[in-house]
Each structure stands twice: as C-alpha cells, then as structure tokens.
C-alpha cells in the first residue's frame, strides 16, 4: 500500500477578499500562515515522513509547503516546482470579487464558471497586462502553453501528465511524496485518481491548509482517503468554499 499527501495552500489574501485568483501570485494571510504551520504539525503528529515534495510556481502554495516542512523539520526535502500544478487559470475573472460577480451575472452562471467541467470563464485578452507571457517563471513555455483562461478539463490535461510522468513512477519507486497545490489543480488530480464524473466533480470543494491523505493499492488505485484534522471544522471549511461564489 502506498500513501500520498495532498495539501491546498493556506488562506491567501485573495481568498480573504473573495477574489477570483487563478494564476495571480498572491501571498498567504496570517491565518493562511497558521493553517500551513498547523498542517505541518498534524503531519508530524501523525508520523508522516517524505522523500520528495512537489508544488506549483505560485507563492501561496510554495510558502505553504515551506511552512509545513519547517514544522516537520524537513526543510532539507527536495522540492520540485512545476507550473502544471498551478491553480486553474481564471481568465478575465481574475481579480474580480466572487460575490459581486454573482450579484451581476447570477449564482448559476458563477457556479458554471467556478465548477463546471468544460465551460471556461471568459478569456483574458492576449494584450491584457494580467496575461503571463512575459513572466520569467514561464520563460521555458511556448505561447500556446500559457493559458488565457481554463476550464477544469484544461487543468486536467496539464495535471494528469505530472501524475503519469513524475508522481506515479516516483511512488512506484517507493518515494513518499507531499504535494502542495491549489483548489482546482487538486480537484483535477482527484477527479482522475477517483474517476469522478464530470457532473459529480462540481460538488467537490477542498479546504485551505488541510492535509489530504490518499492510500493507493499496488496499481495506484485509491483505497481510501481522509483529511487530517477536526472533521467538523473541515466540513465547515468545505461548505464555506462552496458558498464563496454566491451573491450576498
């Protein structure tokens, strides 16, 4: 039996102000810092150890990983930053308030933009200063690889190769791995791992800063999964994420 641990970053400044974030590189709030440290404490208390860590190229996930590893006294761990673990690109919605957007376009439309499998939010214009073409962290990518918007299906298409090419071979080789990523890049991975349907994935919401353990069989098929921490608090945090896209 293998284990892999997923972790969404702690609360970010734009989680706090309820803005669509996507590829915008916002940092953690004080609460987010504490969530990341607490995740590290939970992992340490649970006796978890790792050989390898993966994260995105966005600081909210990177810092969450650093803080959790620091709590575990494991800052020596090799860390692989992979842009393909970035949050789903939120297109022209990036920076907008989720509640105000729902008041303007309706809760149903915002739910489609947030959670439908194959309807992307409106795209950024290529000339928009929020586009990532000139960001040095993406310098190795072709223009076609840098999104102007993404639906979850697009995110699945970039996340699944990380699993197939990197994570699955490393797990089979006996490496214990922790992945610090984002609500929707983790939803993409979990959809693939658990074979969740396009309809059912709409209802999956991932709380900030909470370790999610997957136990896998010898073929890397999930046997069971569970969050570490207080079950009621986790359920409340998941419901809060679901409600972020509703008009007040």
Ligand X SMILES: O=C(O)[C@@H](CO)OP(=O)(O)O
Residue 135 tokens read as 């960001």
Contact stretch for ligand X (CB under 6 A) within 34-42, 172-180, 228-236, 240-248: 240-248
Confirm whether residue 24 is marked as ligand binding: no
φ, ψ of residue 33 to 5 degrees: the values are -60, -45
φ, ψ of residue 72 to 5 degrees: the values are -90, 0
Under the binding rule (CB under 6 A), the answer on residue 207 touching ligand X is: no
Give residues with Cβ within 8 angstroms of 97, minimum separation 6: 17, 18, 19
Q: Is 30 assigned a catalytic role?
A: no
In the region spanning residues 5 to 24, those forming contacts with ligand X, defined by CB under 6 A, are: 15, 20-22
Residue 86 tokens read as 């970035």
Q: Is 9 assigned a catalytic role?
A: yes
Residues that bind ligand X (rule: CB under 6 A) add up to a total of 12
Cα 34 from Cα 39, distance rounded (Å): 9
Q: Report the nearest approach of ligand X to the CB of residue 119 (Å).
A: 13
Give the sign of the dihedral formed by CA 75, CA 76, CA 77, CA 82. Answer: positive
Residues 87-126, one symbol each (x = binds ligand X by CB under 6 A, - = not), give x--x-----------------------x------------
Half-sphere exposure of 209 (CA within 13 A, CB side): 29
Query: Which CB, 48 or 210, lies closer to ligand X?
Result: 210
Query: Catalytic: which of 9, 71, 150, 182?
Result: 9
Interface with ligand X (CB under 6 A): 15, 20-22, 87, 90, 114, 183-184, 241, 244-245
So which residues are the catalytic ones?
A: 9, 87
């Amino acid at each position: 039996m293998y284990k892999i641990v997923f972790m969404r970053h702690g609360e970010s400044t734009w989680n706090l102000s309820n803005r669509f974030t996507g590829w915008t590189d916002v940092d953690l709030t004080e609460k987010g810092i504490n969530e990341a440290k607490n995740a590290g404490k939970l992992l340490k208390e649970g006796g978890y150890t790792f050989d390898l860590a993966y994260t995105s190229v966005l600081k909210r996930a990177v810092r969450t990983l650093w803080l959790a590893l620091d709590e575990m006294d494991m800052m020596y761990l090799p860390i692989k930053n992979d842009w393909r673990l970035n949050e789903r690109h939120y297109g022209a919605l990036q920076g907008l308030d989720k509640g105000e957007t729902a008041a303007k376009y309706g809760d149903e439309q915002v739910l489609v933009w947030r959670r439908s499998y194959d309807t992307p939010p409106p795209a950024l214009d290529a000339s928009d200063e929020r586009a990532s073409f000139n960001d040095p962290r993406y310098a190795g990518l072709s223009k076609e690889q840098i999104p102007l918007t993404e639906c979850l299906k697009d995110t699945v298409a970039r996340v699944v190769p990380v699993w197939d090419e990197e994570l699955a071979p490393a797990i089979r080789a006996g490496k214990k791995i922790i992945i610090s990523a984002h609500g929707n890049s983790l939803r993409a991975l979990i959809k693939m791992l658990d074979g969740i349907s396009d309809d059912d994935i709409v209802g999956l919401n991932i709380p900030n800063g909470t370790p999610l353990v997957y136990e896998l069989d010898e073929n890397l098929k999930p046997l069971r999964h569970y969050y570490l921490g207080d079950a009621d608090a986790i359920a409340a945090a998941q419901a809060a994420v679901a409600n972020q896209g509703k008009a007040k």
